Structures are given as structure tokens and as C-alpha cells.
Structure 1
């Protein structure tokens, strides 16, 4: 979509992630948030240098291209490449500060998958994040354990002040995990119905997630 003027955006959603690859649960989360929170715009931001990831992410250009394909049909979404272009580690707090300066009249809503919510206590300057944005989390099927394989421990407790600011969005639990999707591709199994068709084609055409031979 075209960029709307800052003055016309009163409610701005912010959704970051590796998007390696973006999948249908990501799309569903943004759709649910846009409807339930009455968001004027949602900024979807593929991460750049992820300080909390123990594995090497796929090339930023591929993740950005897939993210654009995944959200191309959502009129309220702007895929924002600022974190990819930023040098050094990608910190959500820096992005929120920038967006607040660009949209001074807007209330920011930080959209979180359940795995992200579980690791919030370890996020850089989490108290400042809580001041800058209302945090809105979506549930995910508890059978999905992708968060236990990488990133910070999900058992770290949040402060009461931060916990109180988290809103839970009403959306169906979706057992989609980027980790699982990468494994399926690497083992020549189907991913139809897990990622948008355009993303599936991109993965196939660019031979992503295949084991090196």
C-alpha cells in the first residue's frame, strides 16, 4: 500500500520478526490485530542482525522479499525494511522510538506472537518498550515448541507493570512454526497450507532451506 500521512495514523501496529520464512500464522496475527485493535496501519519489520538468535538467519534480501509477498494482499500493511538497513543489532526499542517520532500523534501497538511474549523479559530495554507501546499478544498452540530451540528462555518472569500492559488478542491457535517449516523443506516435505502460495513459490525457486550438498 502507499504510505499514509502521519497525521492520519492514530493507531499504528508494529510487528517484527525474523520471517524466516513468514507463514500463515504471521498473516493471521496481523489480520486479527488490525480488526480487533482498529489499526490504521501495521508496520511489518523483518529483523536485521538478531542479537537473540543462536542460528544464522537467511539472507536479509530473501526474508524481505518473502515478507512482501506474504502481506501483499493486506492493504493496511507496510513492510518496513529499516531494521535490515540498520547497522548493528536490531533492537525493538530503537524502532519504536523512531516510529513514535515519525507518527507523534499515534498510539503504538506492539504485536507479539506467543513465542515472543514468552521471551519479553529478556528484551533490550523492555521497560521502555512498555512505555512506548501497548503490547498485544496472540496465543499459539502449546504443542509448538519452536521457542525452546533458540533464543532466550521462556521461563523468565515479567515485571507486574509490563505484564499488566499485555493485551491478549482473540484469534484461533495456529500450530505454525518457522522452525518446523524449514525442517519440512529440508526433508522434501510439503509446506502447502503453512505459508502463502507466493512464499512457497519463492522458497522453491530460490532453493531456500535446502541442506548443502
Structure 2
């Protein structure tokens, strides 16, 4: 059975932290691929700053140079709020030959008891937790833990830097920076 990692998020914008997490988990868990799934509207956050098309384009640019990374637009196509349970039900139905590993940061590990129908979700997916500054990687739920180099980057921090016209080189892939500038994203 092919093992697939799932990394969900708004990716507003995608950054090197996302790519590092995906690659470290892929190699540690011996995953065939990692699918990046941008949300349309996350259930636990405010709406994205940029439209879905721009986020998909930026994510495609960010992942293009890694043959093990794929962008999957299942949640964008559904639109509205996206719950992991709904997404995983569809993915399991479409891909019964694949075993899924849902990658989450330690902040989301702490939040797992509040996820929509978490007990049902555990039958559909294996969770992989990665460390994040300020959070403990502890849960009553079965979580595989992968140590990754600590890199404290957030999309909200990047949006703030971009609005202030500060440099994001070495934090965001060059192709994504070019796209952001060309499309005037994150400007005041």
C-alpha cells in the first residue's frame, strides 16, 4: 500500500517551513509522496488573505522542484469550510490503495480533542506530529512523532513583513516571492 503524507493549510503564503516539514516527514516516515492540500476556508481560522487561485499558484511554484510533492485542490473545489474528516473520507474512497498520514504541528496536536469527529477520523488517517515552538507534542491520541529542525516561521508573520515591505528572502521560495510581487499580494 502506497503511503501518502497530507499537509493541509491555507498556505497564505507557502514558505520554507512548510517545505521543510513535508520533506522531513516524507523521509522519516518513508512516504511515497506528500500532498499539499490548501483549504478554501479553514474551520478554526479566519478566511485567507488571498484568493484560492493565487494560493494554489504559489503552492505549485513552491513545490514544483520536488517530484515527491503534489498539490491537491480537493478542498478548494468543495469550497466553504473544510473539515479534515470530509476530506479524508473522499480521499479514502478515491484512493483505497493508499494509506494516509496527516501531518500536523504541535499546536494542532494540542487542539486534536476539538477536531470535528476526531474518533471517526482516527480510522481514516494516521497522524504525524512535528514540533513547534511554544507547544508540547503530547496527546491522548496515537500520534507518530517526527523531529524536524526547528524553524519558527508563520504565514501571518510573513504577511506582516510583506505589508511592511521587509525582505522575505530565505524564508519564502524565490518563485513565490516573484509571484507575490508580480500580483501585488499582501500590500496595504
- Asked whether the two chains share a fold, i.e. TM above 0.5, the reply is yes
The two structures have a TM-score, normalised by structure 2, of 0.92
* Residue number among 207, 210, 213 corresponding to 2:184 in the alignment: 207
Structure 2: state its 5+ residue gaps. Answer: none
SS of the aligned residue for 1:137 comes to strand
Q: How does 1:22-101 map to 2 (within 5 A)?
A: 22-101=14-93
Q: 2: distance between equivalents of 1:71 and 1:197?
A: 12
Please, what is the CA RMSD of the aligned residues?
Answer: 1.9
Equivalent residue, structure 1, for 2:156: 179
Aligned-partner SS, 2:123: helix
Measured after TM superposition, the shift of residue 102 of structure 1 is 2.0
Q: Distance in 2 between matches of 1:129 and 1:171?
A: 25
**How many residues of Structure 1 are paired with residues of Structure 2 in the alignment?**
187
- Residue in structure 2 matched with residue 5 of structure 1 by the alignment: none
Q: Does 2:118 align with 1:126?
A: yes
* 2-structure distance, mates of 1:37, 1:131: 19
CA contact (8 A) 1:108 1:132 kept: yes
* 8 Å Cα contact 1:138/1:169 also seen in 2: yes
2:143 is aligned with 1:166: yes
1:116 maps onto 2:116 in alignment = no
Q: Which runs of 5+ in 1 are unaligned?
A: 1-8, 143-153
What TM-score comes out, normalization by structure 1 length?
0.82
Q: Which runs of 4 or more aligned residues in structure 1 lie more than 4 Å from their structure 2 counterparts after TM superposition?
A: none
